[in-house]
Chains A and B, each alone.
Chain A
Amino acid sequence: MSKLNLIIKREFLAKVKNKSFIVMTFLSPLLMVGMGALVYFLMKKNDEKIKQIAYVDESTLFSKDDFKDSKTVKYLDLTSLGLEETKKKVEAGEYYGALFIPKKDSLELLANQVEFYSKESPGLTVMNTIEGKLERKLQNLKLTSFGIDFQKIKASKIGVDVKMYNFSGEKSSKLINGIKIAVGALAGYLLMMFVIVYGSSVMRSVIEEKTSRIIEVIVSSVKPFQLMLGKIIGNASAGLLQFLIWGVIIFIVSTVATSVMGLDVNDVQSSSLSAEQLEMAKQQVSGGKMQTLLQEIFKLPLLKLFLLFIFYFLGGYMLYSSLFAAIGAAVDNETDTQQFMLPIMLPLILGVYVGFATVINDPHGPISVAFSHIPLTSPIVMLMRVPFGVAWSELLISMALLLFTFTFMVWFAAKIYRVGILMYGKKPTYKDLYKWIKYNG
């Protein structure tokens, strides 16, 4: 077996046999599913709690029809009781809140004079619903006063759904855009997490070799470069194994959970989308079109997505973990790593922010394009853009840049690593690091 293989195997086993790895691997999916179940349970509980709102309408403009009960909010007409009595009842906890509509001379005046009393400050959704109801009624009254038949206006409303196409013939829809955002965001986020967790694990492993002083024995048998590469690959393999196990566990547990608890799979899946997409997806799915969703997913270039995911995932990980290895070599203990960590974390975090801020709104805008070419952010930003379809020419430039940069970075990190692992004592400055890079032999 070659020495590199030996090192990879050792690093992999050292990581995998570690108790915390085993605990994390099997506990965190359970925790995640558990948290999801808890949130779902609480939301359900929340929905089950019916809020009773009493209204006192002195304007006599409103009727029970304007306050239709919803699943979670019920309205009661307590105009006959008067505002003071109603408020007392609310204070006593009989009702969630009291809505007071005074009598005013004009609709405009009334619009700003409506009052709402409640023991605890009401949620945003409740207030939005109430305001919406009032607004609609007042607008209708206004229209009627202008002599316009609002029934006709209602009848004139037409919903528009623009079918979107691009020139490679792909048909797209808002639903699939939602899916693309979800896929891209998940990939980018996963990459960031992976880099941080396994990159710092490479760093700790280097520091451990330094502090236990075995490093000198090892480097008298293998080249420091081999050791660094073996470490990076070994840790990555452990990480990929962990992801694989997570995937399997989450799949099994959620399958079991859905069948046992009778959860609606569609609900759970679409909850990762934004509220707007959720609405959209629900509309389409509830229209008996679960198959549409699947069809849309299969319309994505899945193989291309998968291959690019692997490339950027590995490229990004190699780039960053070699830097983590260099930091580990430069210092004697973990507390000294802080000053060198910032320059590494910054582009990672920037990548995720740029991804979420710009790619979602404008996947082919100048900022998204620029950051998907800069090698330190490209793995994250490009992964987010890929589902929206990126031209091959752009992809090739970005991939070439990443390939070049990570090769350079591994070489660069190896220089620091080689000198750093044998240096003890003084915490190095950036100037020292520069000297190590220049140093030959």
Chain B
Amino acid sequence: MSNLLEIKGVTKKYGDYTALNNVTLSIPKGSVYGLLGPNGAGKTSLIRIINQITMPDKGEVILDGEHLAPKHIADIGYLPEERGLYKSMKVGEQALYLAQLKGLEKEEAKKRLKYWFEKFDVFSWWNKKIEELSKGMAQKVQFIVTVMHQPKLLIFDEPFSGFDPINAQLIAKEILQLRDEGATIIFSTHRMESVEELCDEIALIDKSNKILEGNLKDIKRQYKSNVFQVGVKSENDESLLKELTSKFEVRPADFTLLADELTCNVKLKSGESPNELLSYLSSRGIVNHFVEVIPNANDIFIQAVKQNS
């Protein structure tokens, strides 16, 4: 899979403050790419550089094989975290205006807006002013405005903030559909559960530096620590635990099960196979819980940031 966007050695300074330090990222075509990082890590600076709102001090940005240039504005759709629309302008007029600024012809823009407004069932808002809409309604309009010029690259900064769970689900579905239709999506968020749900690739930026990048599954594999959650029903839990501790590295359980049984976490050393553990356990009682602990995005995020500091 080739890369739609390549960021090569980008550095950005504001006076003495370094917002981005030699950051290199590759964003594969057709992926949902999670751009993660604590507050103030440099995510917004990077997004602004991709949008050509600011220029990097050093490094270059390549979009679809070409150096980033003003003509690429039409290829990018951007939903900023701090979002807003002209309050006293009518929804339809405003959407048309923003579409035309992105380079769409008026008639084409009207056609596409009609499609999206019908899809989101918001056509009745066309002649309403933004200030008459609720926050969630305005967010929907803004989402439509972001995607309607069918850009190759979509950048969503915290797209779910301000949406109720139902509408958030609707937007998530749309994002995945846009990806399936060929768009590449950069997705910046603090909500790790939505990262799990949506992202194929992630990058983690902390203190102006990239500290992690790659396929989410690969990274999880890399971060897993061979720990298994175990739940066994036996006649004598105490003696089983003693025996288990002598054979394996046992840690207190960080989960609860429904039945009253022995629970613990077991870490396997390299060379020990899970089968060994499982066959041992099944010989001593009824195994009703045996799961490998896979780090979620949240764990990886916290662990990586801790290691970096």
A interface residue numbers (CB < 8 A to B): 1, 3, 6-7, 10, 14, 18, 208-209, 212-214, 216-223, 422, 424, 435, 439-441
A220: contacting residue among B78, B86, B97, CB under 8 A: B78
Contacts of A217 in B (CB 8 A): 78, 80, 83-85, 98, 142, 145
Flag B211-232 by CB within 8 Å of A: 1 or 0 each.
Answer: 0000000000000000000000
Q: Are B83 and A221 in contact (CB under 8 A)?
A: no
- State A14–B130 Cα separation when bound (angstroms): 14
Contacts of A435 in B (CB 8 A): 15
Q: A212-B85, A213-B80, A217-B78 are in contact. List 18 more A-B contacts (CB 8 A).
A: A1-B100, A6-B101, A10-B97, A14-B86, A14-B89, A208-B86, A214-B83, A217-B145, A218-B98, A218-B101, A220-B73, A221-B73, A222-B101, A422-B48, A424-B82, A439-B14, A441-B54, A441-B57
- B:110-154 near A, CB below 8 Å: 142, 145
Q: Are A216 and B89 in contact (CB under 8 A)?
A: no
- B:59-78 near A, CB below 8 Å: 70, 73, 76, 78
Q: Are B98 and A216 in contact (CB under 8 A)?
A: no
Q: Are B73 and A14 in contact (CB under 8 A)?
A: no
- B103 → A minimal CB distance (Å): 8
- When C-beta atoms are compared, the residue in chain B nearest to A215 turns out to be B84
Interface flag for B191 (CB, 8 Å): no
Contacts of A424 in B (CB 8 A): 82
- When C-beta atoms are compared, the residue in chain B nearest to A10 turns out to be B97
Flag B289-309 by CB within 8 Å of A: 1 or 0 each.
Answer: 000000000000000000000
Given contacts A3-B101, A6-B101, A221-B73, contact A212 B86 (CB under 8 A): yes
Interface flag for B102 (CB, 8 Å): yes
- Of B89, B97, B101, the most chain A CB neighbours within 10 A belong to B101
Contacts of B208 in A (CB 8 A): none
- State A359–B82 Cα separation when bound (angstroms): 52
20 A-B contact pairs sorted by A residue (CB < 8 Å): A3-B101, A6-B97, A6-B101, A14-B86, A14-B88, A14-B89, A18-B88, A213-B80, A216-B78, A216-B82, A217-B142, A219-B51, A219-B53, A220-B51, A220-B76, A220-B78, A220-B80, A221-B101, A222-B101, A422-B53
Contacts of A440 in B (CB 8 A): 55
Given contacts A6-B100, A220-B73, A220-B78, contact A212 B87 (CB under 8 A): yes
Interface flag for B56 (CB, 8 Å): yes
A-B residue pairs, 9 tightest by C-beta:
A213-B84, A441-B55, A221-B101, A212-B84, A220-B51, A216-B80, A220-B78, A213-B82, A214-B84
Given contacts A6-B97, A435-B15, A441-B55, contact A221 B102 (CB under 8 A): yes
Contacts of B89 in A (CB 8 A): 14
Contacts of A3 in B (CB 8 A): 101
Q: Are A441 and B53 in contact (CB under 8 A)?
A: no
B interface residue numbers (CB < 8 A to A): 14-15, 48, 51-57, 70, 73, 76, 78, 80, 82-89, 97-98, 100-102, 142, 145
Q: Are B85 and A220 in contact (CB under 8 A)?
A: no
- When C-beta atoms are compared, the residue in chain B nearest to A211 turns out to be B84
- State A220–B44 Cα separation when bound (angstroms): 13
- When C-beta atoms are compared, the residue in chain B nearest to A435 turns out to be B15
Contacts of B83 in A (CB 8 A): 213-214, 216-217
- When C-beta atoms are compared, the residue in chain B nearest to A213 turns out to be B84
- State A156–B89 Cα separation when bound (angstroms): 77
- State A226–B80 Cα separation when bound (angstroms): 20
- Of A14, A214, A223, A439, the most chain B CB neighbours within 10 A belong to A214
- State A217–B14 Cα separation when bound (angstroms): 22
- A202 → B minimal CB distance (Å): 16
Contacts of A219 in B (CB 8 A): 51, 53
- State A439–B97 Cα separation when bound (angstroms): 31
- When C-beta atoms are compared, the residue in chain B nearest to A212 turns out to be B84
- A362 → B minimal CB distance (Å): 50
Contacts of A439 in B (CB 8 A): 14-15
- A161 → B minimal CB distance (Å): 60
- State A221–B78 Cα separation when bound (angstroms): 9
- A431 → B minimal CB distance (Å): 11
Given contacts A14-B88, A435-B15, contact A216 B100 (CB under 8 A): no
- B149 → A minimal CB distance (Å): 10
Q: Are A214 and B100 in contact (CB under 8 A)?
A: no
Contacts of B57 in A (CB 8 A): 441
B53: contacting residue among A10, A214, A220, CB under 8 A: A220
- B190 → A minimal CB distance (Å): 19
- State A219–B102 Cα separation when bound (angstroms): 11
Contacts of A222 in B (CB 8 A): 73, 101
- When C-beta atoms are compared, the residue in chain B nearest to A214 turns out to be B84
- B9 → A minimal CB distance (Å): 15
- B253 → A minimal CB distance (Å): 46
Contacts of A212 in B (CB 8 A): 84-87
- State A217–B78 Cα separation when bound (angstroms): 7
- When C-beta atoms are compared, the residue in chain B nearest to A218 turns out to be B101
- B186 → A minimal CB distance (Å): 13
